[in-house]
Structure 1
């Protein structure tokens, strides 16, 4: 039988399979991407990385089987124009200048989101990946300059600064450790800062023939994009038209036109769903269900769409095209390096090849891992459970995969065809070595984890300043529960916990942590975040109790009604609901649950050890007594 069946037999609600699609229904309030959605995205990134790899292999085979046809194809000219206005591109330039602008647009959207509502909203939380990313920019560049000194290509140091996010996430999904949620979030935050650095360097150091006047036109277009958010209708065509104008202005100015994509993305609105917008969407959906017609359908669809920020809608719309079309096309157009014995021999002797290999493989590893090691030694920043140095080492090794932007800068920084071939050999070799290096480090890490007991013991120690604790912080007996406010078994367990607390009194410390089952209970995550928002006004326990009291009514209007009934400042409550502090606290508990392989709720950790079996009061008391720490006997302290 499946694990879910076993869990249900014990009277627990099983957690959904983590890679499954999170189901939703019309009553579910809109919210930021969930943990399950992020991990599902890892599977999509893995497919994208595989397509990128296939395109790279095809390009290499094509270039070596028929180098003439490969270069001739990508040098084919394409003219676009109207009257006397003509744009002439090669297919290679069309991919690198136009299609890659869409790629950098999606990168800009991610940067904007992370700084507005994501990992980089809190400086203390972002400190570790930001410092690691900056070190990962500086150290590779320094090593490149050291090795390439005197070669005449020192200016190509930008080739080694950037990590390929698509390959990084795909490689982590293929060879990374189990329960790598925290590592993946760390690497994604690092990659965002890395991308900002790479884009800035392209703008500052790899822009030629600069003409400032067209940038004034671009500035006007960007201003129009910013104010287009206030249009009630027709924003799509306005955004599209202005984006083309801005891109053409960047092209005319000499600044690489791909940076237009970033500039546009940074002006696209991003926000958390507003409760009133969600409620309006739900009301229109109910109206359509009661009286189905095309007008109500259109209004309901528009309302649902408008409740999600433009940033998130554009990311979801463009992500498949970028991963499955644009990046593979880029690889096909740029990875076609000839690997003849003469070229390989030349690359082996070339300082630029070795500068790239050492810069990406050793430089990225030393920069990322070295900086995090120093922060761990000096206790700077917060390392969550599962984000250990051995796992960071594997992730740091994978940061040496610099494929996309590295090849992109090769084309910008190096004009000589032979030197370009040597540089591309270096990029490809470094990416393969970094992948293998990361795989080896992850295997060593897994082999050296005798303490990894599959989640049998509590991963994150109880912290009275962080956790929701009930009882004396110095109590000798502890119960930590991972639960869900819509779970009927958690409701039943709450009665057992009350009885245990009455029986043991101040000898027991009870802790609640969140593990909402989004697939089974679509409103559970919203309930967890609402309890956290109430906790910011000192009413966590009261709000949690109200959620258990009425598990069937946890819609956005119910969430606000409960806050009002409990005497909370509703305006502050609504603001806190959109706060990244609230989101991150719930997400941290969910990542802890993932790291410990918590697959059903309620899950209890009794005196730090996972409890299996029934969770009635007498069973829990007996488990507490049997696992009591030294010096405690039968729930009574020895004197």
Structure 2
């Protein structure tokens, strides 16, 4: 009988749901795939619509996007075509969201620690350089070698959407790796646009932009009305970039990098909860407004803006961009010219081959030499599939085509190359992921502990060199995990110093809303050497795990409260819990508690006698294995 069956038989309704949808629960915070999947499909639909529209007998596609708009007052006027409005104004919002993500990753995300960040960073740099070199080599003599920027960048929206559609089973670790890589990739692409594809540079307007950006930075200190101030300064900075000759979309990045980002402060969250309780007791407009404002202010402006703008970018801006830029004519003559064009082939080889070799080759070399941190589940067969997906260079590739190439005929050939490369990269990644999944069938997933016990990292109770080991993946709000602690204590009394027990986090956040916060709090306590004391305190009162309860527990245990609350807000604490969650996903852990006995997954009851028999059986298995050798 598996642990899944036991949970199905439990009277606890939360755990019945967890059994049915446990995989989603454990990884829900990591894999929010719904919006990205829909966004990718809309982007694809807009691309197909643009191609069909551009190939109609009439010239309506080109005429429509060449429509002129004039905005202004008196002598102060801006004249745009619809195409320029999309590429210069709407795409500034897209690049703004890119900048927000870059800022977040370096402040509280995957790029805060060099050991964690070096693998995707080096892979991204290799994935920028090799495609550019291949493009220059293939397009040599065409007069268009300067368009090498077309092949440097991966389309993050298509990348994440495609991973959701065709990715391997349990893709959490790969997705984190690819998102971190895409952030560095975006930084490189933005720098190249600014340095290489800026024409008619006029420095004076950048002084105005600098003043506006300083205003953006200091706006965080206003007590209220920050939204209108941010909006006004953003328009001023955008217009200054436009006047300077630097592509105005980069104004969005510059502004985003100055928007504050931080993890929620526990005191702010508790204050918001107090106001919400006050409103519940005395419902009125004033208390409602105060509670809403307090809840909103507890989240950083960066994350609020990402949440607000993400649907517009995914569902409107990127599809409109594709509609305006992907309209390539596909007549037999044009396709014949593209098939013989070094520009087309330079783009195809640069994106499909260059990205694959650059990303995969560099990570394989790091793996071989032991550089960087590779978590469980981030295997080379997964990485090569992700590297193939990096060849989808759609959005920024089409964007740079418009900047780098003036000849409409050559632009058409370049767009054919971008579209062909994106399709080839998608198909190649699909094949690689299917082969990878076939090589690792579900029946073998998670049978053994993927991450060995590490005394420098893990929370271990008992002698570090004990011959017997129990590793538990659990949730501090899980009733069965509470019962399991009693079983483990009984097993420990039986085995004494021959047993070491290891706790790892697998919070079922979908059904236990406080479980993730409790896990992070235990990690903050661990920094003061009191992990297991905090664990026992959490299990002793599973119903009270709100921020105020967590701080009260820390005080009762004699922890330094200022240090404790500061550690709760650090990226390192969040990353530590997220790593365990990703490990759990990689081993297909769909319910808690899940035990590993001497490195092998335990199936069946987790009462003390069952665990003792499993430990004794593991020793016999080891003896038989040794004899067989």
Give the TM-score normalised by structure 2. 0.96
Aligned pair in 2 of structure 1 residues 514, 73: CA closer, same or farther (>3 Å)? same
Task: Please name the residue that 1:145 is paired with.
Answer: 136
Does 1:379 pair with 2:370?
Answer: yes
Task: Please name the residue that 1:26 is paired with.
Answer: none
Task: Please name the residue that 1:636 is paired with.
Answer: none
Structure 2 residue corresponding to 1:38, chosen from 30, 35, 41: 30
Does 1:620 pair with 2:624?
Answer: no
Q: Deviations over 1:112-139 (max 9, x none)?
A: 0000000000011000000000000000
Higher mean alpha-carbon deviation, 280-289 vs 589-598, is at 589-598
Instruction: Report deviation, 1:608.
Output: 2.0
The 5 A counterparts of 1:187-336 are 187-336=178-327
Does 1:7 pair with 2:12?
Answer: no
Aligned pair in 2 of structure 1 residues 71, 631: CA closer, same or farther (>3 Å)? closer
1-structure distance, mates of 2:591, 2:528:
30
Paired residues of 2:3 and 2:594 also in contact (CA < 8 A): no
2-structure distance, mates of 1:15, 1:557:
30
Instruction: Report deviation, 1:181.
Output: 0.1
Secondary structure, aligned partner of 1:295: helix
Task: Count matched residues.
Answer: 619
2-structure distance, mates of 1:629, 1:217:
76
2-structure distance, mates of 1:565, 1:312:
33
Aligned pair in 2 of structure 1 residues 203, 499: CA closer, same or farther (>3 Å)? same
2-structure distance, mates of 1:207, 1:473:
59
Q: Deviations over 1:318-359 (max 9, x none)?
A: 000000000000000000000000000000111111100000
2-structure distance, mates of 1:542, 1:19:
29
Aligned pair in 2 of structure 1 residues 546, 16: CA closer, same or farther (>3 Å)? farther
Task: Please name the residue that 2:89 is paired with.
Answer: 98
2-structure distance, mates of 1:605, 1:18:
18
Does 1:435 pair with 2:426?
Answer: yes
Task: Please name the residue that 1:394 is paired with.
Answer: 385
Does 1:481 pair with 2:472?
Answer: yes
**Deviating runs (4+, > 4 A) in structure 1?**
2-6, 629-633
1-structure distance, mates of 2:599, 2:55:
60
Does 1:574 pair with 2:565?
Answer: yes
Q: Deviations over 1:392-427 (max 9, x none)?
A: 000000000000000000000000000000000000
Paired residues of 1:604 and 1:611 also in contact (CA < 8 A): yes
Task: Please name the residue that 1:29 is paired with.
Answer: none
2-structure distance, mates of 1:573, 1:143:
51
Structure 1 residue corresponding to 2:335, chosen from 344, 347, 353: 344
2-structure distance, mates of 1:388, 1:177:
12
Q: Deviations over 1:509-534 (max 9, x none)?
A: 21111111112211111111111111
Instruction: Report deviation, 1:4.
Output: 7.2
2-structure distance, mates of 1:468, 1:417:
62
Structure 2 residue corresponding to 1:186, chosen from 177, 180, 191: 177
Does 1:169 pair with 2:160?
Answer: yes
Aligned pair in 2 of structure 1 residues 36, 398: CA closer, same or farther (>3 Å)? same
Paired residues of 2:3 and 2:605 also in contact (CA < 8 A): no
The 5 A counterparts of 1:401-420 are 401-420=392-411
Does 1:540 pair with 2:531?
Answer: yes
Instruction: Report deviation, 1:37.
Output: 3.0
Paired residues of 2:27 and 2:585 also in contact (CA < 8 A): no
Task: Please name the residue that 1:469 is paired with.
Answer: 460
Give unpaired runs (5+ residues) of structure 2: 625-629
Does 1:62 pair with 2:53?
Answer: yes
Give the TM-score normalised by structure 1. 0.94
Task: Please name the residue that 1:637 is paired with.
Answer: none
Secondary structure, aligned partner of 1:604: strand
Aligned pair in 2 of structure 1 residues 381, 629: CA closer, same or farther (>3 Å)? farther
2-structure distance, mates of 1:175, 1:18:
21
Q: Deviations over 1:454-484 (max 9, x none)?
A: 2222222211221111222332222111111
Task: Please name the residue that 1:113 is paired with.
Answer: 104
Does 1:596 pair with 2:587?
Answer: yes
Instruction: Report deviation, 1:616.
Output: 1.2
Aligned pair in 2 of structure 1 residues 631, 37: CA closer, same or farther (>3 Å)? closer
Instruction: Report deviation, 1:10.
Output: 5.2
1-structure distance, mates of 2:443, 2:186:
34
Task: Please name the residue that 2:627 is paired with.
Answer: none
Instruction: Report deviation, 1:613.
Output: 2.4
Give unpaired runs (5+ residues) of structure 1: 23-33, 634-639
Task: Please name the residue that 2:345 is paired with.
Answer: 354
Q: Deviations over 1:159-190 (max 9, x none)?
A: 00000000001111111101000000000000
2-structure distance, mates of 1:167, 1:374:
27
